[in-house]
């Protein structure tokens, strides 16, 4: 794995390895000194062609906790707005010796283009491309789910999968890269995935995805999911009317107070409510649901730093080789105690 571009091509083994290393990174986050020298002398560039707050600062915090130098590049106000191409921008970064480029772009496929172009040598991390994929979001969601699942089971989360878990993803699937990345990753990790949304907001071909589709949220909730992941309604990507009104959308598709109470009535005491943020409170999720003890929203943000640390570490430390043979001994980075017990980390 030289790049992290999508979850569709991420093997279960590589996904689990990354989640296990993220557990070690999370342990580092509990220490008084939350820093490892693992990427000292390395440069990570955050190349953002689309607005973002949480993802960019999460990558920045992750890189800094690994002692990398971080350059933040926002397209707005840069030479990109004067017409500079992706190639020119990338080559400028290459000339500054970037070791990793974390790219967010409104065009689906831009990170893959950058990775395959030969313009740069750096590792490319997809931080969200158009409506295509957002792999680190799905990894942090899987990390959050896995911790919850393991806790219910009374077992450590490192090493476990999501086998037996039922995850319901709700809303604007059509425009959601988060939904796509989650469908691939969660099924790879053994979860059963259910999708619910209005027909206008489900992509053509969704029937071929490895999940069951519902056109009524309450029918989907009746399947007793272990987690309900609400998607943001991506108004900025809508160029047509996809539903009659926001009021109608929120009544039919929002996780409102009534549906929150329904989980209690159904005895679904352990079902969690997720949202990748930013949330449209009162539209796809009510404030009571977003702030309830069932909500994992803040845990997702926290876990995002650990997962992105793991991704940068594995890509830049040289420990990220794919293992074609699953019976090979696990390499050093897989061992749960490696990072936690080595405060000085391992220089690449």
Shortest-Cβ-distance residue relative to ligand MLT: 232
Q: Which lies closer to ligand MLT via its Cβ, residue 20 or residue 303?
A: 303
Q: Smallest gap, in angstroms, from Cβ of residue 177 to ligand MLT? A: 5
Among 42, 105, 132, 177, which residue sits at the site for ligand MLT (rule: CB under 6 A)? 177
Reply yes or no: is the peptide bond before residue 278 cis, omega within 30 of 0: yes
Q: Smallest gap, in angstroms, from Cβ of residue 93 to ligand MLT? A: 21
Angstrom distance (rounded) from CA 306 to CA 54: 14
Within residues 299-338, the interface with ligand MLT by CB under 6 A covers none
54 is known to lie in a ligand binding site: yes
69 sits in which H/E element: strand 69-74
Among 56, 134, 147, 308, which residue sits at the site for ligand MLT (rule: CB under 6 A)? 134
Give the pair of three-digit tokens for residue 253: 């598709």
For residues 289 and 269, the answer to whether their CB atoms sit within 8 Å is no
For residues 104 and 129, the answer to whether their CB atoms sit within 8 Å is yes
Within residues 254-283, the interface with ligand MLT by CB under 6 A covers 276
Angstrom distance (rounded) from CA 234 to CA 198: 14
Angstrom distance (rounded) from CA 50 to CA 104: 6
Q: Does 128 bind ligand MLT (CB under 6 A)?
A: yes
Residue 136 has phi, psi (to 5 degrees) of -70, -25
347 is known to lie in a ligand binding site: no
Angstrom distance (rounded) from CA 78 to CA 92: 12
277 is known to lie in a ligand binding site: yes
Place of tokens 């690994």: 66
175 is known to lie in a ligand binding site: no
Q: Smallest gap, in angstroms, from Cβ of residue 103 to ligand MLT? A: 12
Q: Smallest gap, in angstroms, from Cβ of residue 213 to ligand MLT? A: 20
Among 42, 105, 148, 232, which residue sits at the site for ligand MLT (rule: CB under 6 A)? 232
Q: Smallest gap, in angstroms, from Cβ of residue 332 to ligand MLT? A: 32
Q: Which lies closer to ligand MLT via its Cβ, residue 22 or residue 38?
A: 22
Q: Nearest Cα to 166, choosing from 192, 144, 147?
A: 192
Q: DSSP letter string over 94-132?
A: HHTT-SEEEEEESSTTHHHHHHHSSS--SEEEEEEETTT
Q: Smallest gap, in angstroms, from Cβ of residue 124 to ligand MLT? A: 17
Total residues interacting with ligand MLT, rule: CB under 6 A? 9
Within residues 185-214, the interface with ligand MLT by CB under 6 A covers none
For residues 101 and 114, the answer to whether their CB atoms sit within 8 Å is yes
Residue 123 has a CB neighbour count (10 Å cut-off) of 23
Q: Does 178 bind ligand MLT (CB under 6 A)?
A: yes
DSSP letter at 149?
A: H
278 is known to lie in a ligand binding site: yes
For ligand MLT, the binding residues (CB under 6 A) are: 55, 128, 134, 137, 177-178, 232, 234, 276
Binding-site residue ranges:
54-55, 82, 104, 134, 137, 177, 232, 277-278
Binding-site residue ranges for carbamoyl phosphate:
54-55, 104, 134, 137, 277-278
Binding-site residue ranges for L-aspartate:
82, 177, 232
């Amino acid at each position: 794995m030289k790049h992290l571009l999508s979850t569709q091509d991420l093997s279960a083994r590589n996904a689990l390895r990354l989640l296990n290393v993220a557990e070690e990174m999370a342990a580092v986050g509990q220490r008084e000194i939350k820093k490892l020298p693992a990427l000292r002398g390395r440069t990570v560039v955050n190349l953002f062609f689309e607005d973002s707050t949480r993802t960019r600062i999460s990558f920045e915090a992750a890189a800094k906790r690994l002692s990398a130098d971080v350059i933040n590049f926002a397209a707005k106000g840069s030479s990109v707005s004067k017409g500079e191409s992706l190639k020119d921008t990338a080559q400028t970064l290459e000339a500054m010796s970037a070791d990793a480029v974390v790219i967010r772009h409104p065009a689906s496929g831009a990170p893959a283009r950058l990775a395959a172009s030969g313009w740069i040598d750096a590792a490319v991390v997809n931080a969200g491309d158009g409506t295509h994929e957002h792999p680190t979001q799905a990894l942090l969601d899987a990390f959050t789910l896995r911790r919850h699942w393991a806790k219910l089971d009374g077992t450590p989360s490192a090493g476990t999968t999501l086998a037996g878990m039922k995850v319901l993803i709700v809303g604007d699937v059509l425009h959601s890269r988060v939904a796509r990345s989650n469908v691939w990753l969660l099924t790879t990790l053994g979860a059963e995935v259910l999708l619910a949304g209005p027909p206008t907001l489900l992509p053509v071909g969704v029937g071929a995805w490895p999940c069951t589709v519902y056109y009524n949220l309450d029918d989907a909730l009746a399947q007793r999911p272990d987690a309900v992941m609400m998607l943001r309604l991506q108004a900025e990507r809508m160029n047509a009317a996809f539903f009659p009104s926001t009021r109608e959308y929120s009544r039919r598709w929002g996780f409102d107070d009534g549906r929150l109470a329904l989980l209690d009535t159904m005895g679904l005491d352990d079902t969690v409510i997720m949202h990748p943020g930013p949330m449209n409170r009162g539209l796809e999720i009510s404030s009571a649901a977003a702030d309830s003890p069932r909500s994992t929203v803040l845990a997702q943000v926290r876990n995002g730093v650990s997962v992105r640390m793991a991704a940068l570490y594995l890509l830049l430390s040289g420990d990220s080789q794919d293992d074609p043979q699953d019976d090979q001994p696990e390499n050093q980075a897989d061992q749960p105690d490696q990072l936690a017990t080595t405060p000085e980390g391992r220089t690449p």
